[in-house]
Each structure stands twice: as structure tokens, then as C-alpha cells.
Amino acid sequence: MDASLELSTSTGNTSVPRYRIFKIVVIGDSGVGKTCLTYRFYAGRFPNKTEATIGVDFRERILDIEGEKIKIQLWDTAGQERFRKSMVQQYYRNVHAIILVFDVSNPASFRNLPLWLEECRWNAQGQEVPCILVGNKCDLVHQGSSVWAGVKGEQVRKFAEAHGMPFYLTSAKEPEGQRDHVGAIFMSLAYRITRQRTFSYRSEALGSFKLPSRNRKEKEKWACNC
């Protein structure tokens, strides 16, 4: 069954709420903050401590989108190859959207983005799945030396534009109590995927952003040289 058509129910009791379920997979290099971002959205705060994710961790939240309650199922995946290689196909099975994360203070995590997109393209098997780009750890931008050696906003904008992806720069560690930027990113993605009434994976149903084609020249063109 198409995962989007699954309804949430644990018993035969008809009074149990039934929701449409949407699967969002979070990918990116190890240490970029995937666990912290998903935890922040799930629990509303930065986690006290994290360890490298093994395989996948699931976090779910019920959201109210224009009067409809839906269940967002976040797949917080492992960035380390050895902790993910046996699970990659499950990550992408019936996925509704992908969040591609890099660390703004770690240029290597930005340079590796084409490899992640390649993995998405390969596993999506011709389906076009919404993908957004998130640069995390923006709280570190003004720390340390006066010359910022991390990824520059302009580089991010160009990369995102080249691949037709919306992008956001944020911090899972942003102080609580201020505006919830991380929450707004997830909410805006949830809003976007739930608007697709047909549940089709095709690009015409999903709007303007899609996974890029396999184009080596294009990937090299937008690779970061920092």
C-alpha cells in the first residue's frame, strides 16, 4: 500500500484517531546535526547529548494542517556509511519528502551534497520526491575567528537554485523561546506535501522542486571550492 494512504490506528476501535501519515527522511553527513534538528522539532528543544545514529531513529509528531490532523514520521538516518549501508533502500521506500542537511561550519559536508543527491536519485527509481536543503549550526557563524571559514550563504543559494531546491539556514541550537525557525521549516514542508491531494510522486503533482538529474558536469559546476 502507498505509505501516504496508511491510516494511523493501533486497534480495531473506531474511536482511535486515524491520520494520513507522511514519511520525511533526513539525510546528510555524519555530525551535521540531523538528530538535533529532528529532536528539536519533536521535543521543542536541543537534546542534552547525542551519539552517532545507527541505522535510523524515528520521531513522530501530529500536526494540524489547515484543520486536518496528519502524522509526520521523521526518519533520522545515520550519516556514517557503516551504520547505514544495510538500510538505504528502506530509507527511500515510499518517502514523501527528503531533508538534505549540511553543517555551515563544515565545508566538507557542503561539498558532499552532490553525493547525497546522487544517492536520492538512484534510490528514488525515477520518482520525483520533494527535497529541501538545510544548512545547520548557524549559531557558529559569528564565533571563533573574525574571518568566517565556513560555507558562505551565496554558495548555498547557488547550489540550491541549480538543483531547484528551497533552502534554509538555521540552528538546532537556537535559543528556545525565540521564534521557532526549525519548527517553521518542518511545518512549511509538511504543508507543501499535504497539499498534494493525489499523493502522486510525479513532479507535476509535487510542484517545482525535484531531485536533480544525474549530470556530472552540473555537479562539478556547483561543487563548493572552499
Between 31 and 164, name the residue whose CB sits nearer to ligand GTP.
31
Which residues from 156-185 bind ligand GTP, rule CB under 6 A? 171-173
Answer for which of 71, 96, 121, 137 binds ligand GTP (CB under 6 A) is 137
146 burial level (CB within 10 Å; 0-12, 13-18, 19+): exposed
207: contact with ligand GTP by CB under 6 A:
no
Between 4 and 53, name the residue whose CB sits nearer to ligand GTP.
53
7: contact with ligand GTP by CB under 6 A:
no
Which residues from 33-62 bind Mg ion, rule CB under 5 A? 34-35, 53
136 binds, among Mg ion, ligand GTP, none (CB under 5 to 8 A by kind): ligand GTP
Which residues from 40-99 bind ligand GTP, rule CB under 6 A? 50, 52-53, 78-80
109: contact with Mg ion by CB under 5 A:
no
Between 35 and 106, name the residue whose CB sits nearer to Mg ion.
35
Residues in contact with Mg ion by CB under 5 A are 34-35, 53
